[in-house]
Structures are given as structure tokens and as C-alpha cells.
Amino acid sequence: MGGLPILSLMLLVPLIAGIACLLVDARPARLIALGATLINLLLGIVLWLNFDIGGAQWQFQEYAPLFAGFSWALGVDGIALMLIMLSVFLMPFCILASWEAIRTRVGEYMAAFLFMEALMIGVFAAQDIFLFYIFFEAGLIPMYLIIGVWGGDDRIYASYKFFLYTLLGSVLMLIAMLWMVNVAGTSSIPALMEYDFAPAAQTWLWLAFFASFAVKMPMWPVHTWLPDAHVQAPTAGSVILAGVLLKMGGYGFIRFSLPMFPEASAQFTWLILGLSMAAIVITSLIALVQHDMKKLIAYSSVAHMAIVTAGLFAFNVQGLEGAMVMMLSHGLVSGALFLCVGVIYDRLHTREIARYGGLAINMPAYALFFLLFTMASIGLPGTSGFVAEFLSLAGVYQVSSWAALVLTTGIILAAGYMLYLYARVAYGEQRNADAAAMRDLNAREWVLLAPIAAAVLWMGVYPESFLAPMRQDIAMLEARLARAAPAGDANLVMGAPRAQSANAMATLPGAEHAGEGAH
């Protein structure tokens, strides 16, 4: 890639296209947005193909000092690469999903999405902690506008709730960042990842970052902005919210909290595991009683994100890799589920589950896609969701069998609420004439759903493609965490094996009490 600043280019393309969108009419704006996001997808593929797996930790680095130690520093490792790929992969679908649904202020809408894409790539690519902060916080603004301007009836409440919550942690995080840079003498993220802060300071720094990431994640009990934001956001807004914005919290934990504050992370392991356990049970039960499709999927997102946090704080390779795969998988699956909701919302303009029913009769192709994504959400083996859940929970089990037990109940509850949703939407009699008259997927909707379905199956059957780029980074992180990693509760103690197997019997035939009485 000799010299081509591909990451800056990936930031620049949507930025310029976004400005262009502000200046033109609806139709060209759509085309520009689609073109720009496709170009970025292509650039992303080039990035992935040229990523040297097992090579240098940081690749495609760019550096330009700006002022006062603040610099334009970009670069990716495998973890960032995968999340950038997720962002650029989902973006064209967002544009396509809004093709017909958005009719007012189309140029501004497309611009908001393009700016957001640039900011999200910036979050994952930033190597300067202040640059990260700017991208991280600025990413809220387009989302806030998307919900507030193009959202549903209650959009003002939702957007202000969204903003209030996510702003809460930011101030604390900024203060922590200033302190860190002051102490460590550098604002470079790679350098800070190797800097050892005093354990006492770590505790406060960890909490400051936690305030921000927990809200972004979102973790229970600071999750209540998410259902409202999802319900009010337009379809594409929900896709990007669930698909990428929720990943910024997880990325924050894996990029900042864990490597920079290993001791504090170990100290707070049980806070995280406890909140994750609470989240998975509570939000799953809440998802069970929802009447609004988007709200149900939003609550299920909180439950899935709890598996991410638990996996991250398992401090071992399986947990970390599982958490990363869960972020990617959830990005695809919940994004696709919101697209599925969007498909029928566009036809009937309601998210009320009870208004549908029997869609498998008149929309068989739609029902098949919806089933696939439902199963992926439940974590059926063969889909991405299984690899994610299995690895994360296998990691958690090594730390605590209690936590693993409670978190694994999620597989029962998820099956409950997702299948209940699916049965009410796709199965049963056709109760409403208007729902029964809806036509099956059109070509545009096929293009929306089929590639995501393929990606979900790919990640489920051959996850190596996604695990390989991250392997080295995860291994390094695990090595850094090793000194603080909590001991598991298993404590296997070897004993002298029994001389005989449980049902061994003396060879004399017919003797009724020949057994060794193992019971």
C-alpha cells in the first residue's frame, strides 16, 4: 500500500460526499451517498486484503503532528480492522434502506449518514487519544439529528434522552484522558496501551472510562435510552445504532479499559459480571412482554451486549475473541433484524406485533430471511451468533461457573422471546386484510438482506476469516492481562483415579453382588 493514506481517504470520501449531498436534490443525493458508501466498502476490502495477518501490530499508520502534542494519528490493528469492515459493510444497506422510506430533507439525511460513517471509521482508526475523543463524541451528533429530525412521533423525547445519557460519561472520560496524557507524557494510544499506571490511579481512571462506555454499550441499568432511540429512529438509524454505535462501548473497553488499566479491570471484574448477569436475565424477560417489534429487538440487543461485556472481562482468549465475534455478529444480525422490521414497516407503517400475523403465507421469502436472522440471534450453531456466544461463555466459565450458568440462561430466554416474536409475525392465521395483502420482498429488499444473510452464515461456518486478523492482538492483550487475571473457581484438583470403571464387575458370571458397589 506504499504511501497511500487509505485510512484518511476512507474518512475523506464520506466527508466530501456528505458536503456534496447538502448541496443537491433528493435524487442525486441518494446516488452520491450510495456511491460514496460503496467506494468506502471497496476501500475497506482493499484494506482487509492488504492487512498483514501476523505482521506488525499497527498497520496503515499515518502521522501528522498538529498542535500541542495533539496529532493526526491513524492506524489499525486486527480488532479495529474488523470493526471498520463492519461499519463500511453496513453503510450501503443503510442508504438503500432509506431509498424510499425517507422523503423529506433527503440531502441532509444522507449527509448525516455520511458524516457519521466518517466519524465511526475515525473512532476505530484513531491512534491519538484526543482524536479518538473527538470522533467518539462527535459521532453522537449525526445520530441525534437522525432521530430528532427523521424519527417517529416521540422523537424529541428519544433524542434528548439519547443525548443526555451518552453525554453523561463523556465529561468524566475527558478529564481522565487529560490526566493520563499529563502523567504518561504522550497522547498516543499504542503507547498508552503499554504504559503502566499506578494501581490506585487506575481505579479512578477505569471508573471514568466505565461511565462513558457502559452507557454506550449499553449496560444495565443505563440502557433505557436504547429502546426509545431505536423505536423512534428511522430503519437505517436503528441499523447503524445497533450495528456500529453500540460497538463503540465494547471497543472502548478492549482498547482502553483492559490494556491500560489491567489491575483496575481485575478489581471490577465482578461489577461487570454482575451487571452482565443482571442485564441478560432482566432485559430478556422484558423483551418477552414487548408489543413493539423494535423495542423487543432493542432489549435483545442489551442482552447480547451483556455477553460482550462478560466475555471481555473473562480475561482469556476465548472470552475476548467471543466478545469480538459477538460484536461483529450482533452488528450484522440485529442490523438485519431492524431491516426486516423496516421491510414490513414500510408497507404497513406500524411496529405493533399484533397487527401482523401469517406473513409466511404471503411473504415466504421474507419469512425465510426473518427466520434465519431470528435463529442467528438465538445463537443456532452454523450462524455467527453461535460462535460468538459459545466462545464468550466458554471464556466466562473459566472464571466463574456461576456467571456462566446465569449468562447461559440467556440461550433459553432468547429462544423464548425471539420465537414468540417470530410466531406472532410470520405464523398463525392472517388476521388483518392489509397485512395479508402485503407483497413479498422486492429486488431492493433482496439486495438488502441476502448479503447480510451470507455474511452471517459465513461467520458461523468459517469464522476463521474473522478470527485470524484479530488473533495476534487478542493474544497480546491476554498476555498483558495475565498478571491481573482473576483465578477461576474451578480449581481442578487431581486425585488418584479409581482402579475400575463405575460399572466394572468381577468376571464371575451370575454373582449378584459382584459389582464393586460404586453407587
Q: Which of residues 212-241 bind another protein (CB under 8 A)?
A: 221-222, 224-225, 227
Interaction with another protein in 139-168: which residues (CB under 8 A)? 160-161, 164-165
Nearer to another protein, 30 or 304 (CB): 304
Cell 423505536 belongs to residue: 231
Whether 459 contacts 466, CB under 8 Å: yes
- Cα separation, 176 vs 386, whole angstroms: 37
Interaction with another protein in 410-449: which residues (CB under 8 A)? 411-413, 415-416, 419-420, 423, 426-429
Interaction with another protein in 326-365: which residues (CB under 8 A)? 358, 360-361, 364
- Cα separation, 75 vs 85, whole angstroms: 14
- Cα separation, 510 vs 75, whole angstroms: 76
- Cα separation, 239 vs 234, whole angstroms: 9
Q: Does 66 bind another protein (CB under 8 A)?
A: no
Q: Provide, rounded to whole angstroms, the least separation between the CB of residue 353 and another protein.
A: 14
Nearer to another protein, 9 or 282 (CB): 282
Nearer to another protein, 166 or 334 (CB): 166
Q: Does 495 bind another protein (CB under 8 A)?
A: yes
> Which of 2, 3, 55, 517: binder of another protein (CB under 8 A)?
517
Crossing angle of helices 155-184 and 129-138, in 10° steps, is 180
User: For 358, left (φ over 0), alpha (ψ -120 to 50), or beta?
Assistant: left
Q: Does 54 bind another protein (CB under 8 A)?
A: no
Is the link from the previous residue into 190 a cis peptide, with omega within 30 of 0? no
Which residues, 6 or more positions from 217, have their beta carbon under 8 angstroms from its beta carbon?
223, 246, 249, 250, 305, 308, 309
Nearer to another protein, 6 or 324 (CB): 324
Which residues, 6 or more positions from 169, have their beta carbon under 8 angstroms from its beta carbon?
208, 210, 211, 212, 213, 214, 215, 216
> Which of 24, 149, 288, 353: binder of another protein (CB under 8 A)?
288
Size of the site for another protein (CB under 8 A): 90
Q: Provide, rounded to whole angstroms, the least separation between the CB of residue 413 and another protein.
A: 8
Interaction with another protein in 370-399: which residues (CB under 8 A)? 375, 380-382, 386-387, 390-391, 393-394, 397-398
> Which of 444, 461, 482, 483: binder of another protein (CB under 8 A)?
461
Q: Does 369 bind another protein (CB under 8 A)?
A: no
Interaction with another protein in 293-332: which residues (CB under 8 A)? 316-318, 321-322
